[in-house]
Amino acid sequence: MVRFIGGKNKIILDLACGTGILSTFIPNGTANSKIIGSDLTFDYLRLAKKRQSYVLLTNSLAEFLPYKDNCFDVIISSYLAKYTNLSAMVKEHWRVLRKDGIIIVHDFTYPNSNLVRILWHVYFRILNQLGKVITSWQEVFSNLDKLIQLNPWVNNLVRELDTIGFRSISKNYYTYGTSAIVRAIK
């Protein structure tokens, strides 16, 4: 993901940056890139600010971005796609990205293989049990498995990107089909 972003003087939006974990993998400053973070949850932004030197952090929705048209070179998001209104998000991506700008979207997926599905359900059962003990995990993992299972975000996103005019759209699955990355160019 980070290799794909590479290049000089890029303006990068980490959409739904949360507490800033993903942004820390982007080599800020070394290639004169500027990172802007954006998230719905204000309290996460406080933590993100401590973790990474963003040029700007905004408390905003992915479906309604407070940025000018054609201002970003790259938009990345991790673990957002399953929560968002993809049609509205893609329209905003199209509006705020520069020509030849890149989007990279990463999230969990429900695996295809029956064997992996069995292991996947066992894994989530363990996480849900742990959530009963570690209360801070409860909110994060409650219904996450059902959300992933019921949300075919990869194909929906590819369709939305294609409809609005993105090119070179690709989708790749990782870790036995339990996550995916969709990339596209404006």
Question: Would the CA dihedral through 136, 139, 140, 141 be positive or negative?
Answer: positive
Tell the smallest beta-carbon distance from residue 13 to ligand SAM (Å): 11
CA distance 103 to 91: 12
The site string for ligand SAM over 89-128 (x = CB under 6 A, - otherwise) reads: ----------------------------------------
User: For residues 54 and 26, is the Cβ–Cβ distance under 8 A?
Assistant: no
CB of 93 to ligand SAM, least distance (A): 12
- Compute the distance between CA of residue 68 and CA of residue 4 in angstroms, rounded to an integer: 24
Which of 79, 110, 137, 173: binder of ligand SAM (CB under 6 A)?
A: 79
Is residue 176 at the binding interface for ligand SAM, with CB under 6 A as the rule?
Answer: no
21 near ligand SAM, judged by CB under 6 A: yes
Task: Enumerate residues 6+ apart whose C-beta is below 8 A from 26.
Answer: 2, 5, 12, 14, 33, 35, 76
Residue from 16, 26, 75, 86 touching ligand SAM (CB under 6 A): that is 16
